[in-house]
């Protein structure tokens, strides 16, 4: 793949070290370790029930592992909550599409900008860094009043964010459904909107949980193209869970294979495909 | 038997129509009562929408808010030590909920400090023999006393309710995150008892009078009256000016949408509105003119005019109601179609609904003008209450739609997991929602308290709000308002007209619940709520 | 009336200068980008074209070169065409959904040296075929997304080319005016490859005179002014778009609007509210189907109102539009209907401001035609060809009828030859087929008459009626007349049927292959709680067969009324497992059926239809938009349809 040569793959951005996760007596993940490097497309694959989504939930902060650590951007995280993970630059899509059903496509993608939507007071407080921390609640209150009155600065911000969202809509080719409430969209389009919302957060690490599920060949091609373009243009690191082997082999830089909560292989797609343990885990049938 | 049937079915309507002026007063009274119910229900809806909790304590929050307000206005004696304890504890809790670990640590320490100081004071008061206590009175007994005027007390009470929200989140909600609804509900029951007792301890248990400076008396509106001809002339001029606007809009709006690069402009209501504005006004003017002429069967000019205007405004009201029902049916039909077929079913056109509705509204306006001239009886205080509720609703609507926080609230109400992934802190949102519900409770408390004094039966309002929620749907803000209005007006009408006709007393007390029962049987999600379908 | 300056300008660059002078600050073209409409005035367009032409020159475009243009309707692509013309080069627009080897033929045949394309998709296609198009030297692309790492030296972004253009202007300030001044009325303005239903496409050469003279004629005829607005959504490679979005625009000075993407056309239509609109009948059929589906889903009061007022409209709507006398009571009712139903409906569709609506390309169904006219959309038909630079006949506003295509346009001569084939002669007649003198001679006679290849008749009012393709009219084995297009059109008038192909020449009876309309039939199925998960599954259901059978029998009953046509009633039919597709070569890019190809591809089905079988197994190769192939397998049922008896005792004249 010529494009891989153009991508700059850097140092480790996420390190998963000896993670074990249990729910009562059920061991979802046992002793899994791997690394994801900056700027690469990393796939997590494995038969159903292998613990892939649980792994993503651990990275995202929905679950906290009983053992093991996760280091993100060099710092070890302790019991990070999902919204804190989001604030550090991790964006996530869900297997069953967790969109805000009552809102339109545009509004949904706009919610991705919420973390970056600060009023003028808050921006000032943030600029003060740690010194400004105690001022933040006050700043939030001031901004709130600004908001209600929808004065000049708020409107300006609104336009800037709207432009970002429109560019994403253009990128994902979903102009036609801009104003449609997402609850009415077909599944494939919903997944695209969810990707749009994740992109709106301008994440450093993008976690995609089965982004191609339920799509036909053409839709999968489109989605693959989007994933590659995102990685190419913005340098976003992407970790995805996927069942379609064709897609995985095609676009991933590296792959980790889980089975019954354990890692059974790790490496470049071609290596993994030929690994006998992997073949056995999938009952000898490649997709 | 026939008599009874007549009294049940016919007499009330006759009663309504024979004295339209009185009917107007009853309806207005009902509307205003309904507004107050709606305010309380609003608090429930906010909390339920954002955190899925049915807040049994909403009624007591109304009471607590009113108590605090009155207490601050009457004068408060705060012991220094107690003051220090309270400030420490509250600041501690606020910081403890914060985002930064450092802040959390400091908060925890402050809170502990506050509790310790408070414990010392209490302990000293209880344990130390009288002598030492009196001696230490200088230290422990002294305090400050202050009295706040209304405009100071209200913000202070708002701060209290916000602090209360922080405390509730920290102490109760945080630990109930993944529990079942019933457990959360029981927690709010416990909260109810606690707040009741706490309020009583701090502020005392006598009935308090809340004086907000607006007399609970009839308004003298005679000065507002304009001559009827002037009113009609204004209407007609507006109509003529806007007929052109309405038809010119079609081309202009599309043009301007393109050339100024804005989104598509919505048709201004001014157009059809003013058109019918004028038509109705013109009709009134002509009718007056006609009636003022010689007509033998009419008893007297003034009386005839009065009857005419009265009939017009009731006709208008009926028209508005019909249009509202039609619009509702259309909207619902469209919604269901969209759910079933996933097609983007756009409404054919709401323009004519709006036009007809406004025609009716204008006829109502004409009626109001006449009513004012005839000296209808409106209670000033109730008018203030309605105005405040309206403003509150508008502010809330703007809040939800336009602000960042409002967006985040809508997101949380929709899907928790998604909201978390987008970076919204659930617990922060809960604090905000409970704080807003607290402010709404304050508004309700001011109105109820102002009307009937601040007493502990105020917390029973929660029960009255339940039928409102059943009617309007647990998750709908407009539902709470419309439900409240329906129940308020329905109650009063039933009491006055059916009560006197059939001779049953106190229909007012149970009408709301009967109506709620009917709804539970046939439309449990209320008028605007969401149908919840569970997989069996 | 046209200003004298416009009347004297003979070429597009010339017209551009005039427009920039006369109405420099009026909007010329708009595009919706990132959700808002961006406007360019005539002056701005002239400046952009100037820069582009200089950029092309800097890249080495020479007089007489062919410049291929591929993409959706975008302002920059339109400007590229005029910029090329200013340099004396010939723009050759190509259908954007053409597969790589279709493009390769055109590029090769036209000997194109340069190409201007829209985005990465088109760039990839060209890169694929570049090896087989040795003359291709440079590719310019408009949208840089995805192309960052393409390192080929012959790839240039439009932005880069425009920078070069500005440099060029600095160094040769008089260059553009000089070159543009060299353009003459008789020079080649554009070359359009017709999507022939048989064989390889032919390059139709049109001169400035062709386009501009016909544009002037039509602008005067229809009274188009600079205040009009139109939506440019039809393919740029089609002659109609060149006439509407280039020819007429430059002559009349009105504004064209480019939609955001092909998926948003209906929404953009609604936002713009154009005054002038063209669509082929399938689009109107689609719109009508959508409207009817929506009505079925609306609340009962809306349904009642709609049907109530539509009855009124069907009675008098068409007459009111045609300004015929109508009773006062009916007028009031219609006015009420306008207020409550038609007005809002047209508003939703974007039809409110339309005062000129053309349709052409094939026969239009009576339901569709009458529906739109009855609600006040002034639709009328025209007939034309690429070789005629669009206009041959047009219906005058007061003589709009369902079954004709109108009277010859001013300046167009029309005649029918002995076989009933239609011939015409006009100022718009094409110069020649590029590098194909044989085909040119076959189509154009020595004195300038063009064979259309369509068979037609002239009725007593002088209106032309098109019956069928001249070479498709055939006979059954028993001598009965068989006009396949006529039958297929009748079938396609039913909303459930999307495409139909009939067979019968030299056979004992007529059979039909039908592909259903997924939207309409899907809605029908849902109403009856029939579950389906794919087109194939839906088309195999016995209930659907029943539905189509009813439609076919209706057609048979109509045919039975006419002695000439009674013999061509449809006896058997099959529902195809997929829609006929241009990508599979079954349809042309303008969605006309390629009979021979279809007959070859589905020979198995045809054999089964005539072999009395009740089902047939099919394995079809399908190709995706990027040219890859796949296999589709199905077992298709074949059903019979009842043939109607001619009404007894009716002796009909031919």
Q: What is the CATH number of the domain that holds B407?
A: 1.10.3470
Q: How many CB pairs under 8 A join A and B?
A: 93
d(Cα B66, Cα B72) in Å, to the nearest integer?
10
Boundary of a domain, candidates B375, B403, B437: B375
CB C401 within 8 A of CB C391: no
Q: Reply yes or no on whether the pLDDT at C4 is more than 80.
A: no
Neighbouring-strand partners of residue C454? C469
Interchain contact, A94 vs B398, CB within 8 Å:
no
Instruction: Name the residue among C148, C260, C624 with its Cβ closest to that of A218.
Output: C624
Q: Does domain A1-89+204-287 sit in CATH 3.40.640.10?
A: no
Task: Give the single-character DSSP code of B497.
Answer: I
d(Cα A170, Cα A176) in Å, to the nearest integer?
10
Tell me the nearest-neighbour CA distance from C618 into chain A, angstroms.
Answer: 21
Burial class (CB in 10 A: 0-12, 13-18, 19+), A183: middle
| pLDDT reported for residue A109 | 93
| pLDDT (average), residues A209-222 | 88
- The size of chain C, in residues, is 654
Instruction: Name the residue among A98, A103, A111 with its Cβ closest to that of B417.
Output: A98
Tell me the nearest-neighbour CA distance from B216 into chain A, angstroms.
Answer: 32
One fold for C281-469 and C474-640:
no
- Residue C80 confidence class, pLDDT cut points 50, 70, 90: very high
- Residue C194 confidence class, pLDDT cut points 50, 70, 90: confident
| pLDDT (average), residues C469-474 | 78
Instruction: Name the residue among C35, C148, C626 with its Cβ closest to that of A178.
Output: C35
Q: Which residue has the higher pLDDT, B357 or B152?
A: B152
CB A209 within 8 A of CB A94: yes
Q: Among candidates B430, B431, B447, B429, which has minimal Cα distance to B392? A: B447
Read off the tokens for B244: 């052109």
Q: Could you please report the per-residue DSSP string of C390-441?
A: S-SEE--TT---SS--BEEPTT-EEEE-TTSEEEEE-TT---EETT-HHHHH
Q: Which residue has the higher pLDDT, B252 or C407?
A: C407
Tell me the nearest-neighbour CA distance from B330 into chain C, angstroms.
Answer: 6
d(Cα C332, Cα A53) in Å, to the nearest integer?
66
| pLDDT reported for residue C410 | 93
Return the CA Rg of chain C.
26
Q: Among candidates C595, C559, C564, which has minimal Cα distance to C457? A: C564
User: Edge-to-edge strands of the sheet including A12-23?
Assistant: A26-37, A12-23, A67-72, A75-77
- Residue B303 confidence class, pLDDT cut points 50, 70, 90: low
Judge if B46 and B191 occupy the same domain: yes
Range of B236's domain?
A: 222-375
Judge if B170 and B43 occupy the same domain: yes
| pLDDT reported for residue A196 | 95
Instruction: Name the residue among C35, C302, C523 with its Cβ closest to that of B348.
Output: C302
Q: Among candidates C318, C37, C433, which has minimal Cα distance to B258? A: C37
CB B357 within 8 A of CB B214: no
Residues of chain C found within 8 Å of residue A225, distances taken between Cβ atoms: 146
| pLDDT reported for residue B340 | 40
Judge if B151 and B45 occupy the same domain: yes
Q: Among candidates C94, C87, C93, which has minimal Cα distance to C61? A: C87
| pLDDT reported for residue C381 | 95
CB C116 within 8 A of CB C94: no
Interchain contact, C261 vs A173, CB within 8 Å:
yes
pLDDT digits (tens, 9 = 90+) for C205-214: 999 999 999 9
Domain count, chain B: 2
| pLDDT (average), residues C69-95 | 94
| pLDDT (average), residues C455-471 | 80
Residues of chain B found within 8 Å of residue C273, distances taken between Cβ atoms: 254
Among 3.40.50.620, 3.30.450.20, 3.30.450.70, 3.40.50.12780, name the CATH number for the domain at C4-278: 3.40.50.12780
Poorest-pLDDT segment among B83-92, B151-160, C109-118: B83-92
The alpha carbon of A74 is separated from its chain's Cα centroid by a whole number of angstroms, namely 19
Q: Return the axis-axis angle of helices C366-374 and C281-297, rounded to nearest 10°.
A: 70
Q: Reply yes or no on whether the pLDDT at C302 is more than 90.
A: no
Q: Reply yes or no on whether the pLDDT at B247 is more than 80.
A: no
| pLDDT reported for residue B269 | 38
| pLDDT reported for residue C562 | 61
pLDDT digits (tens, 9 = 90+) for C556-567: 987 776 666 678
Residues of chain B found within 8 Å of residue A147, distances taken between Cβ atoms: 402-405
Q: Which residue has the higher pLDDT, B358 or B488?
A: B488
Poorest-pLDDT segment among A208-212, B366-370, C68-72, C363-367: B366-370
- HSE at residue C127, side-chain half, CA atoms within 13 A, is 16
Largest CA distance in chain B: 94
User: Edge-to-edge strands of the sheet including C138-141?
Assistant: C90-94, C66-70, C112-117, C138-141, C155-157
Poorest-pLDDT segment among A128-142, B205-219, B312-326: B312-326
Q: Among candidates B159, B158, B149, which has minimal Cα distance to B72? A: B149
pLDDT digits (tens, 9 = 90+) for B165-191: 888 888 888 777 667 778 888 888 898
Tell me the average pLDDT of chain C: 87
Read off the tokens for C93: 């627009």
Q: Reply yes or no on whether the pLDDT at B352 is more than 70.
A: no
- Complex prediction ipTM: 0.78
- HSE at residue C99, side-chain half, CA atoms within 13 A, is 15
CB C604 within 8 A of CB C616: yes
Residues 6+ apart with CB under 8 A from B115: B85, B89
Judge if B446 and B460 occupy the same domain: yes
CB A88 within 8 A of CB A44: no
Q: Which residue has the higher pLDDT, C633 or B371?
A: C633
Q: Helix, strand or coil for residue C516?
A: strand
| pLDDT (average), residues A181-185 | 85
Residues 6+ apart with CB under 8 A from B530: B473, B475
Q: Reply yes or no on whether the pLDDT at C154 is more than 50.
A: yes
Judge if B203 and B338 occupy the same domain: no
- Residue A24 confidence class, pLDDT cut points 50, 70, 90: confident
Q: Which contacts qualify for C35-40: CB closer than 8 Å, 24 or more apart?
A: C35/A162, C35/A166, C35/A169, C35/A175, C35/A178, C35/B263, C35/C260, C36/B261, C36/B262, C36/B263, C37/B257, C37/B258, C37/B261, C37/C257, C37/C271, C38/B261, C39/B258, C39/B259, C40/C75
CB C570 within 8 A of CB C486: no
| pLDDT (average), residues B178-206 | 82
| pLDDT reported for residue A41 | 94
| pLDDT reported for residue B125 | 63
- Residue B349 confidence class, pLDDT cut points 50, 70, 90: very low
CB B28 within 8 A of CB B380: no
CATH no., domain C281-469: 3.40.50.12780
Query: 103-162 in C: which are within 8 Å (CB) of A?
Result: 145-146, 148-149
| pLDDT reported for residue C81 | 95
Read off the tokens for B186: 């029981």
Its pTM surpasses 0.80? no
Residues of chain A found within 8 Å of residue C260, distances taken between Cβ atoms: 175
Judge if B24 and B168 occupy the same domain: yes
- Residue B532 confidence class, pLDDT cut points 50, 70, 90: low
Q: Does domain C474-640 sit in CATH 3.30.70.1350?
A: no
Question: What percent of chain C clears pLDDT 70, i.e. is strictly above it?
Answer: 96
Q: Which residue has the higher pLDDT, B153 or C20?
A: C20
| pLDDT reported for residue B535 | 34
Judge if B266 and B403 occupy the same domain: no
Q: Does B59 fall in a domain? A: yes
- Domain locations in chain A as residue ranges: 1-89+204-287, 99-202
Residues of chain B found within 8 Å of residue C298, distances taken between Cβ atoms: 330, 333-334, 337, 345, 348
d(Cα A118, Cα B404) in Å, to the nearest integer?
8
Judge if B232 and B356 occupy the same domain: yes
Burial class (CB in 10 A: 0-12, 13-18, 19+), C459: exposed
A127 in reach of chain B (CB within 8 A)? no
Residue whose structure tokens are 């004396």: C88
| pLDDT reported for residue A153 | 53
| pLDDT reported for residue B102 | 67
pLDDT digits (tens, 9 = 90+) for A60-100: 888 889 989 999 988 888 778 888 888 889 999 998 888 98
Tell me the nearest-neighbour CA distance from B289 into chain A, angstroms.
Answer: 47
Alpha-carbon torsion C31, C37, C43, C48, what sign? negative
Q: Does B134 fall in a domain? A: no
Residue whose structure tokens are 């414990």: B119
CB A14 within 8 A of CB A256: no
- Domain locations in chain C as residue ranges: 4-278, 281-469, 474-640
| pLDDT reported for residue C164 | 93
Q: Reply yes or no on whether the pLDDT at C539 is more than 80.
A: yes
Q: Reply yes or no on whether the pLDDT at C305 is more than 60.
A: yes
d(Cα C594, Cα C586) in Å, to the nearest integer?
5
């Amino acid at each position: 793949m010529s494009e891989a040569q153009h991508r700059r793959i850097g140092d480790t951005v996420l390190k998963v070290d000896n993670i074990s996760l249990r729910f009562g007596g059920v061991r979802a993940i046992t002793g899994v370790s791997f690394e994801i490097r900056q700027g690469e497309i990393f796939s997590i694959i494995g038969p159903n029930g292998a613990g892939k989504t649980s792994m993503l939930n651990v990275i995202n902060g929905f679950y906290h592992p009983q053992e093991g650590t996760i280091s993100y951007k060099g710092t070890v995280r302790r019991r990070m909550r999902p919204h804190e993970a989001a604030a550090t630059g991790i964006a996530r899509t869900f297997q069953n599409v967790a969109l805000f059903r009552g809102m339109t496509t545009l509004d949904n993608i706009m919610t991705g900008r919420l973390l970056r939507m600060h009023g003028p007071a808050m921006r000032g407080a943030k600029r003060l860094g740690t010194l400004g921390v105690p001022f933040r609640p006050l700043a939030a209150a001031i901004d709130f009043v600004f908001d209600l009155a929808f004065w000049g600065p708020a409107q300006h911000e609104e336009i800037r964010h709207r432009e970002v969202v429109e560019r994403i809509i253009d990128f994902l080719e979903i102009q036609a459904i801009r104003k449609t409430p997402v609850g009415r969209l077909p599944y494939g389009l919903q997944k695209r909107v969810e990707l749009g919302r994740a992109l709106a957060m301008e994440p450093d690490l993008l976690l995609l949980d089965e982004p191609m599920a339920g799509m036909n060949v053409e839709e999968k091609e489109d989605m693959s193209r989007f994933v590659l373009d995102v990685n190419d243009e913005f340098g976003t690191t992407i970790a995805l869970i996927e069942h379609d082997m064709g897609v995985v082999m095609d676009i991933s830089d590296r792959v980790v294979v889980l089975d019954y909560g354990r890692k059974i292989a790790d490496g470049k797609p071609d290596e993994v495909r030929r690994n006998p343990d992997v073949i056995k885990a999938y009952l000898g049938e490649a997709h | 038997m026939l008599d009874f049937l007549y009294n049940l079915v016919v007499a009330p309507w006759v009663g309504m129509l024979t004295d339209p002026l009185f009917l107007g007063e009853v309806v207005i009274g009902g509307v205003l009562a309904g507004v107050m119910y709606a305010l309380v229900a609003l608090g429930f809806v906010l909390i339920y929408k954002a955190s899925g909790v049915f807040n049994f304590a909403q009624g007591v929050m109304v009471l607590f808010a009113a108590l605090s307000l009155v207490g601050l206005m009457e004068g408060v004696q705060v012991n220094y030590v107690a003051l220090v304890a309270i400030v420490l504890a509250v600041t501690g809790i606020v910081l403890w909920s914060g985002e930064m670990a450092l802040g959390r640590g400091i908060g925890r320490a402050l809170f502990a400090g506050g509790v310790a100081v408070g414990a010392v004071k209490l302990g000293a008061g209880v344990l130390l023999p009288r002598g030492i206590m009196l001696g230490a009175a200088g230290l422990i007994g002294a305090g400050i006393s202050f009295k706040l005027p209304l405009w100071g007390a209200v913000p202070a009470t708002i701060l209290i309710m916000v602090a209360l929200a922080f405390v509730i989140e920290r102490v109760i909600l945080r630990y109930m995150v993944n529990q079942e609804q019933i457990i959360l509900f029981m927690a709010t029951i416990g909260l109810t008892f606690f707040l009741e007792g706490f309020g009583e301890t701090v502020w005392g248990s006598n009935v308090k009078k809340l004086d907000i400076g607006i007399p609970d008396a009839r308004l003298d509106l005679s000065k507002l009256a304009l001559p009827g001809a002037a009113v009609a002339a204004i209407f007609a001029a507006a109509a003529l000016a806007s007929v052109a606007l309405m038809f010119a809009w079609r081309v202009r709006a599309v043009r301007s949408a393109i050339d100024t690069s804005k989104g598509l402009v919505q048709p201004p209501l001014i157009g059809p509105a003013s058109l019918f504005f004028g038509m109705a006004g013109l009709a009134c003017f002509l009718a007056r003119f006609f009636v003022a002429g010689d007509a033998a069967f009419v008893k007297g000019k003034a009386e005839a005019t009065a009857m005419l205007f009265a009939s017009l405004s009731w006709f208008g009201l009926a028209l508005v109601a019909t249009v509202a029902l039609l619009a509702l049916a259309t909207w619902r039909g469209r919604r269901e179609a969209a759910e079933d077929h996933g097609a983007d079913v756009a409404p054919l056109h709401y323009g004519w609904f709006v036009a007809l509705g406004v025609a009716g509204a204008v006829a109502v306006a004409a009626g109001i003008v006449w009513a004012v001239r005839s000296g209808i009886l409106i209670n000033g205080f109730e008018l203030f209450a309605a105005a405040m509720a309206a403003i509150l609703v508008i502010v809330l609507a703007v809040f939800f739609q336009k602000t960042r926080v409002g967006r985040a609230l809508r997101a949380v109400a929709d899907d928790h997991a998604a909201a978390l992934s987008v970076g919204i802190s659930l617990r922060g949102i809960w604090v905000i929602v409970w704080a807003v519900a607290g402010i709404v409770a304050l508004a309700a408390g001011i109105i109820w308290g102002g009307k009937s004094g601040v007493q502990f039966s105020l917390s029973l309002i929660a029960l009255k709000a339940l039928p409102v929620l059943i009617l309007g749907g647990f998750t709908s803000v407009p539902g709470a308002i419309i439900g409240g209005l329906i129940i308020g007006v329905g109650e009063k009408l039933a009491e006055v007209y059916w009560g006197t006709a059939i001779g049953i007393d106190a229909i007012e007390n149970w009408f709301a619940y009967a109506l709620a029962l009917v709804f539970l049987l046939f439309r449990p999600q209320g008028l605007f709520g969401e149908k919840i379908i569970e997989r069996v | 009336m046209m200003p004298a300056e416009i009347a004297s300008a003979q070429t597009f660059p010339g017209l551009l200068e005039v427009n920039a002078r006369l109405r420099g600050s009026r909007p010329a073209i708009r595009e919706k980008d990132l959700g808002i409409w961006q406007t360019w005035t005539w002056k701005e367009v002239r400046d952009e074209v100037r820069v582009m032409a200089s950029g092309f020159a800097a890249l080495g475009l020479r007089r007489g070169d062919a410049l291929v243009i591929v993409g959706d309707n975008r302002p920059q692509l339109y400007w590229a065409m005029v910029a090329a013309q200013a340099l004396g080069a010939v723009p050759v627009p190509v259908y954007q959904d053409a597969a790589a080897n279709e493009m390769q033929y055109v590029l090769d045949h036209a000997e194109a040296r340069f190409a201007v394309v829209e985005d990465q998709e088109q760039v990839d296609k060209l890169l694929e075929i570049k090896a087989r198009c040795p003359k291709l030297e440079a590719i310019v692309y408009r949208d840089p997304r995805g192309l960052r790492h393409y390192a080929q030296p012959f790839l240039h972004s439009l932005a880069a080319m425009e920078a070069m253009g500005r440099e060029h202007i600095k160094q040769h300030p008089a260059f553009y005016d000089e070159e543009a001044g060299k353009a003459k009325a008789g020079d080649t303005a554009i070359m359009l490859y017709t999507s022939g239903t048989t064989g390889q496409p032919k390059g139709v050469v049109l001169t400035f005179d062709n386009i501009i003279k016909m544009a002037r004629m039509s602008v005067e005829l229809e009274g188009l002014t600079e205040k009009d607005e139109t939506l440019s959504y039809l393919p740029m490679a089609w002659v109609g778009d060149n006439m509407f979005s280039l020819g007429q625009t430059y002559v009349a000075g009105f504004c064209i609007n480019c939609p955001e993407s092909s998926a948003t056309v209906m929404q953009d239509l609604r936002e713009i509210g154009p005054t002038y609109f063209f669509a082929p009948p399938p689009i109107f059929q689609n719109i009508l189907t959508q409207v009817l589906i929506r009505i079925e889903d609306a609340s009962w009061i809306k349904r009642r109102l709609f049907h109530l007022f539509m009855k009124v409209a069907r009675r008098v709507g068409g007459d009111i539009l045609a300004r015929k006398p109508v009773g006062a009571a009916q007028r009031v009712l219609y006015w009420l209907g306008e207020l409550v139903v038609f007005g809002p409906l047209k508003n939703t569709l974007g039809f409110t401001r339309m005062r000129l609506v053309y349709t052409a390309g094939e026969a239009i169904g009576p339901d569709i035609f009458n529906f739109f006219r009855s609600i006040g959309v002034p639709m009328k038909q025209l007939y034309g060809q690429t070789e005629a630079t669009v206009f041959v006949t047009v219906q005058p506003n007061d003589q709009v009828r369902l079954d004709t295509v109108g009277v010859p346009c001013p300046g167009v001569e029309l005649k029918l030859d002995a076989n009933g084939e239609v011939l015409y002669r006009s100022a718009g007649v094409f110069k020649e087929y590029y590098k194909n003198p044989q085909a040119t001679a076959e189509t154009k006679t020595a004195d300038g008459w063009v064979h259309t290849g369509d068979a037609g008749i002239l009725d007593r009012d002088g209106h032309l009626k098109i019956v069928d393709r001249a070479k498709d009219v055939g006979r059954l084995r028993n001598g009965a007349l068989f006009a396949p297009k006529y039958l297929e059109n009748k079938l396609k008038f039913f909303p459930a049927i999307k495409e139909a192909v009939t067979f019968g020449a030299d056979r004992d009876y007529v059979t039909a292959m039908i592909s259903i309309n997924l939207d309409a039939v899907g809605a029908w199925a849902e109403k009856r709680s029939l579950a389906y998960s794919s087109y194939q599954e839906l088309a195999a259901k016995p209930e659907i067969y029943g539905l189509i059978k009813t439609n076919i029998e209706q057609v048979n009953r109509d045919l039975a009324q006419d002695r000439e046509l009674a013999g061509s009633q449809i006896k058997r039919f099959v529902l195809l497992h997929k829609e006929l597709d241009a990508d599979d070569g079954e349809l042309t890019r303008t969605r006309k059926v390629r009979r021979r190809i279809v007959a070859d591809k589905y020979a198995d089905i045809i054999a089964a239809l005539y072999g009395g079988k009740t089902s047939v197994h099919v394995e079809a190769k399908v190709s995706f938009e990027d040219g890859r192939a796949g296999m589709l397998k199905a077992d298709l049922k074949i059903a019979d349809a009842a043939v109607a008896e001619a009404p007894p005792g009716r002796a009909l004249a031919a």
